[in-house]
Chains A and B, each alone.
Chain A
Amino acid sequence: MKGYAWAVAATAACTAAGFALRPHVDPVNIAMLYLLPVLVIARFFTRGAAATAAVLGVATFDFLFVPPYLTFAVDDLQYLLTFAILLVAGLVISDLAESARREARARAAAALEAETERLRGTLLSSISHDLRTPLAVMSGASSTLLESGERMPPADRRVLAESIYAQARGMADVMGNVLQMTRLETGAVVLERDWASLGEIAGAVLDRLAGALSRHRLMLELPAELPLVRVDATLIEQALGNLLENAAKHTPPGTLVRLRAVRGESEVVVSVEDFGLGLEAEEFQRVFAKFHRRGGGEGGGLGLGLSICRAIVQLHGGRIWAEQLPGGGSAFRFALALEAVPASPAEGAA
């Protein structure tokens, strides 16, 4: 509909221009003027809109600029040729523009498909790496236990059993991430919002990740007066956990990891700050992309952790971003909207 409105508006503008030029130019040149809206409309809108511009142009030109004026009659038959050319030019141009547009769309679709294909390739190669290595370790270690476990010192048996266990847990995490990303992307995750305390969520995350964070110094800045948030605590726990794991994975042992929550006017901002090497300037956007691995893939993992964070925060209607910290580290922050917390029961009478 917009194209048709523009066709009318552009023809009207040409008419105004035509009246202004009339004392100075030949009527045939004014006819050329009406070709302009046809060109422009054909470029940006549908074929129908372009044809409308052509017909409108012909009619207006005939009505106002071809004697006898203010009628659709034509004295000089040569103007019929002008009309025909105007009309045909309009239709041909709109045809060309339409096919150019179609081609561009096809190219974009092909590019998208190529990108999907590339991602699928990355996924396959990283899954096969991330699963094949632990599988090799597990089958190697367990067959050693089977074949010669009885002849081994208990300490060696234990080492083998521990590595089987560790690899299996790692593999379960990878599978869990792939599954969760798929569920988030296909809309299979339904938010179960309820009042939650960020302090409690942080406490549970730190408990769950005690092992992964044990080599870093942790600093917590969680003010006791933080308001409750209405979120899906299971998902926010996961997002916060991914950010903390990520910080621990990409910074040297012994460095500081700071978890803080700051209350703003209408939102609360949760940050995980690390004091490692930081990010390359161009990485700040890309870190949240699927399969992006910081530092070219060191540290393993599929590169899904941060994209899961982003999907979770966006599902909550929040924002998530990364920042360079003065002095070198990086900060990953997300903001969640605050809602008015209903009053709690007073206990004065009890």
Chain B
Amino acid sequence: MLSRKKILTLCILILFAGISMTFQWKVQNEFKKYPSRMEVVFEGDDTNYLELWDHRDYLNESYLTSFTLEKQVEYNGNELIIIEKDENYSKFQPYLIKDGRECKEGEHEIVISERFGEKMFPMDNPVGETVEISGDNYIISGIYEDTFLKKSYDLDEEIIYMPSSSIKEIDDDVSYRVLFSERDGRDRLFFNERLNEYISEGIPYISLDSGLIFDYTDYSTILSQFFEGSIFLMEFLIFVLITIIILRKLKDDSKEYRLQLQDYYAKEIIMGNMDAILLEAIKLVLLIFLWAIILRFVINFKFNIPGRVLPPEDIFDFNFYVESFSQSRNYYHGGIYRKLYEKLFRIEFIGFLVSSVFSVSIFIMALKMKGSTKRMRKIHRRAEEEV
């Protein structure tokens, strides 16, 4: 008999590992709802932005394109990100209107988040109320639902949506963003290169290089690797555990057989213990089958880490990681997608560490339990001998 305490601890550990991995899975799936994209940020009066605007139809033929304007302001002690969006934006950053309606083009209307609405108007329904932001009055036309991500781990800033051309005065804080994504929402390699080729073929006098190019096309892939890693670690530990169990079983059985051989002939041992031998054999065969299946999973498992985040030749080239980390920090230029990614990256990383700790603890406990059953078997045998 195994101790109840140990079984209970093991069950709790398995439960926690399961919760941690479900959370990881949920987070990465929520992030996948936002299509992978490339963002080109233009500052000030860059004419290329306007040129691209004029060629929206050409760009929309092959790519999902959205022209946005992003501004960061402070309102009653809250950090706000105001996003002036066009009709395609909702495909990049989908949200669900919970109350009221979507803001109308040409009107001074805004859509705010559920949480921000509760914060601003705790007693009343915010829809239809007027707020003054940066000296302009806006009517709250609707409230969008807070997603799982927003509820569980939100950005520090509140995001407010308004239709394009609502921001009257353009100042230095404003960044013009053009978002590009695949029309079918799938992640494909060389998106940046293909897009550049497409633009140079159709509108050769425009270059995306005048803006800051942010390639976020593989962010959801990177994020999903933490969950994949947790799964792989669990598979691997189960594989090692089953290997150890099989080896121990073989060792114990052969030891038992050798011990019995001192008193009996082999034929006697087999004939006298036919049921037990058959049962052991069936157990062993099943274990070996399970071992082979898991081994197949372990061998076929492949991480999908994008090449650009890895050193060109040596994976232990630590200078490369340091440089790319410092570069990414210097290269940062806002954008809610990037902000969300960075926060979720931290969550997924912590989730990976937590589930790894749980998995390893379960593994160690399971190994010890095997040891205790062996001890119990010894005690049982000794008692039998005494009798």
Q: Does A associate with B in a complex? A: no
B residues near A (Cβ < 8 Å) are: none
